């Protein structure tokens, strides 16, 4: 009788181990399915992003410098990087100019003379 009970216990332990292994395998299978779904989704998003980039690229090629020779290698958008410096130079040069005489501006643009009188109230 003890032999039968010990066999039953062993069989039950083995059965429990097998059930645990099955549960573990089910979890792993679920994780693999979830991972496959995530990778499929990521791949679709990546393809969509690439299509978007491929359609935008021709629209942005105007900003790339035109090379005049094979040896002329400039970094992309190099001419745009210089724009802030050029604008600062323009502002500096413009601010250093002497102010325009009002009579000279009014002589060239008679509408400015009328608008200044209208705003002051003299021409009523």
Tens of pLDDT along 70-107? 565 556 566 677 788 889 999 999 888 887 777 776 77
pLDDT at 48: 96
Is residue 100 domain-resident? no
pLDDT at 78: 67
Is residue 102 domain-resident? no
Question: Above 60 in pLDDT, residue 122?
Answer: no
* Residue predicted with more confidence, 123 or 43: 43
Domain that holds residue 16: 2-61
Mean confidence (pLDDT) of the chain: 80
* 7-25 average pLDDT score: 94
As a whole number of angstroms, the distance between CA 93 and CA 34 comes to 64
pLDDT at 124: 42
Q: Which residue has the tokens 């097998």?
A: 18
Is residue 115 domain-resident? no
Is residue 39 domain-resident? yes
Give the contacts of 117 (CB within 8 A, at least 6 positions apart). 123
Is residue 107 domain-resident? no
* 4-27 average pLDDT score: 93
């Amino acid at each position: 009788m003890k032999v039968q009970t010990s066999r039953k216990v062993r069989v039950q332990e083995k059965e429990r181990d097998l059930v645990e292994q099955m549960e573990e395998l089910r979890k792993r299978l679920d994780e693999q399915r979830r991972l496959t779904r995530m990778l499929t989704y990521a791949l679709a998003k990546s393809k969509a992003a690439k299509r978007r980039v491929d359609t935008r690229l021709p629209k942005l090629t105007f900003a790339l410098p035109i090379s005049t020779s094979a040896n002329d290698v400039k970094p992309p958008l190099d001419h745009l990087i210089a724009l802030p410096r050029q604008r600062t130079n323009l502002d500096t040069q413009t601010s250093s100019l002497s102010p325009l005489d009002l009579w000279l501006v009014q002589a060239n643009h008679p509408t400015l003379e009328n608008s200044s009188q209208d705003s002051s109230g003299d021409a009523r």
